[in-house]
Amino acid sequence: MKVLDLFSGIGGFSIGLEKAGFETVAFCEIEPYCRGVLEHHWPDTPIYGDVKQLTGEQLKADGIVPDVIVGGYPCQPFSVAGRQRGEKDPRHLWPEVHRLIRELRPRWVICENVSGHIKLGLDEVLATLEAEGYTVWPFVIPACSVDAPHKRDRVWIVGNAQHDGSLAAPLRGEPEEASRGSSQGQE
């Protein structure tokens, strides 16, 4: 399965997914240091800069059509260490992830964030994914579950598409004819 890795950092998602047999076909990372690390370890994989500038049209033109979009979008809008401004925080980038999901319609979505997201913004994420035809499973995994010496809960969101990835596929609850622009029954 082909992966688009957003907010890539130094490639943690891709390292794990590639060990499971996935192929990273593109990264999107704005920080220059992280981009340098990605370039070193994945010299033949395209790296895009600002997620706000990245479009599905651009990716498709570059031959990149992912089966999976992954990303740990910025946590500052939800973190208890911050001001917890949610969607009012300029670093709230879930809408950009959602836009790319709409444009690319991958079969799978995997996201990660801080536990403060549960009380601030997670409902929006789940609702928008479900509206796009995904079955969504949110769950919390503490760092101590993988033998780290601290709890540090992380929210994981896994979504599986109820469509085949095509733009003609109906969204859940939408009549099939309406999704194809059918004029049957109209005069």
Q: Which of 28, 34, 75, 111 is catalytic?
A: 75
Pairing of strands 47-48, 134-142: unpaired
CB-based contacts of 174, cutoff 8 Å, min separation 6: none
C-alpha span between 180 and 27 (Å, rounded): 32
C-alpha span between 48 and 110 (Å, rounded): 19
Both tokens assigned to 76? 């500052």
Place of tokens 């598409």: 161
C-alpha span between 143 and 103 (Å, rounded): 33
| Phi, then psi, of 109 in degrees rounded to 5 | -135, 130
Examine the residue annotation and report whether 144 is marked as an active-site residue of this protein: no
C-alpha span between 88 and 124 (Å, rounded): 13
| Contact status, residue 125 vs residue 111, Cβ threshold 8 Å | yes
**What are the residue numbers of the active site?**
75
